[in-house]
A and B are shown apart, each in its own frame.
Chain A
Amino acid sequence: MNTLFDKIWDAHVIQNVEDGPTQLYIDRLYVHEVTSPQAFDTLRDKGLKVHRPKQIYAMPDHNTPSDQQERIDDPIGRKQVEALQRNCKEFGICHFAMGSRDNGIIHVVGPEKGLSLPGMTIVCGDSHTSTHGAVGAIAMGIGTSEVTQVLASQCILQSKPKTMRINIEGTLPKGTTAKDVALYIMAQMTTSGATGYAVEYAGSTIRSMSMEGRLTLSNLSIEMGSRAGLIAPDEITFAYLKDREYAPKGEAWDKAVEEWKKLKSDDDAVFDKEVTYRAEDIAPRITYGTNPGAGIPVDGCIPTLEEVSEAERPQLAAQLEYMQFKPGQRLEGTPVDYVFLGACTNGRIEDFRAFASVVKGHRKASNVVAWLVPGSWSVRQQIVDEGIDKILEEAGFELRLPSCSACLAMNPDKVPAGKLAISTSNRNFVGRQGPGARTVLASPLTVAASAITGVITDVRTLLVES
Chain B
Amino acid sequence: MKEPFSIIRSTCIPIAIDNCNTDLIIPARYLASTTRDAKFFGDAFMHDLRFDADGMPIADFVMNQPAYAETPHRGVHEIIVAGANWGSGSSREHAAWAIAGYGVRVVVSSSFADIHRNNLLNNFVLPVVVSPSFQQELFETIASNPDSLVEVDVPRQQITNLATGRSEHFDINGYKKYCLMNALDDIDFLLENQDKIKAWEEKR
Contacts and interface: CB of A to CB of B under 8 A. Distances in A.
Asked if A and B bind, the verdict is yes
B114 interface: yes
A338 interface: no
B74 interface: no
Nearest to A194: B114
Interface residues of B, number: 50
A183 to B, nearest CB: 16
A176 interface: no
B32 A152 contact: no
B36 A38 contact: yes
A20 to B, nearest CB: 3
Interface of B: 18-19, 21, 23-24, 27-29, 31-36, 48, 53, 84-85, 88-93, 96, 111-115, 118-119, 122-123, 173-176, 185-187, 189-191, 193-194, 196-197, 200-201
A306 interface: no
Given A35-B92, A83-B34, A192 B29 contact: no
Contact of B89 (A34, A83, A429, A436): A429
A144 B93 contact: yes
A77 B34 CA distance: 9
Interface of A: 14-15, 17-21, 23, 25, 34-35, 37-38, 41-42, 46, 48, 51, 62-63, 74, 76-77, 79-80, 83, 125-127, 129, 140-146, 148-149, 152-159, 161, 191-192, 195-196, 222-223, 225, 227, 291, 315, 408-410, 417, 427, 429-432, 435-436
A192 B23 contact: no
A51 B32 contact: no
A452 B113 CA distance: 38
B85 to A, nearest CB: 4
A150 to B, nearest CB: 9
State the 7 A-B residue pairs at the shortest beta-carbon distance, nearest first.
A20-B175, A19-B174, A145-B122, A143-B93, A143-B119, A37-B34, A141-B91
A23 B199 CA distance: 14
Given A15-B193, A143-B96, A192-B85, A74 B32 contact: yes
A263 to B, nearest CB: 17
Contacts of A142: 91, 115, 118
A41 B90 CA distance: 22
8 contacts: A14-B193, A37-B34, A76-B32, A127-B115, A145-B186, A152-B191, A315-B18, A430-B24
Contact of A408 (B28, B193, B196): B28
Contacts of A46: 187
Contacts of A431: 23-24, 27, 48
A145 to B, nearest CB: 4
A141 B18 contact: no
B132 to A, nearest CB: 10
A195 B118 contact: no
A37 B85 CA distance: 28
B197 A225 contact: no
Contacts of B96: 143
A121 B204 CA distance: 14
B197 A143 contact: no
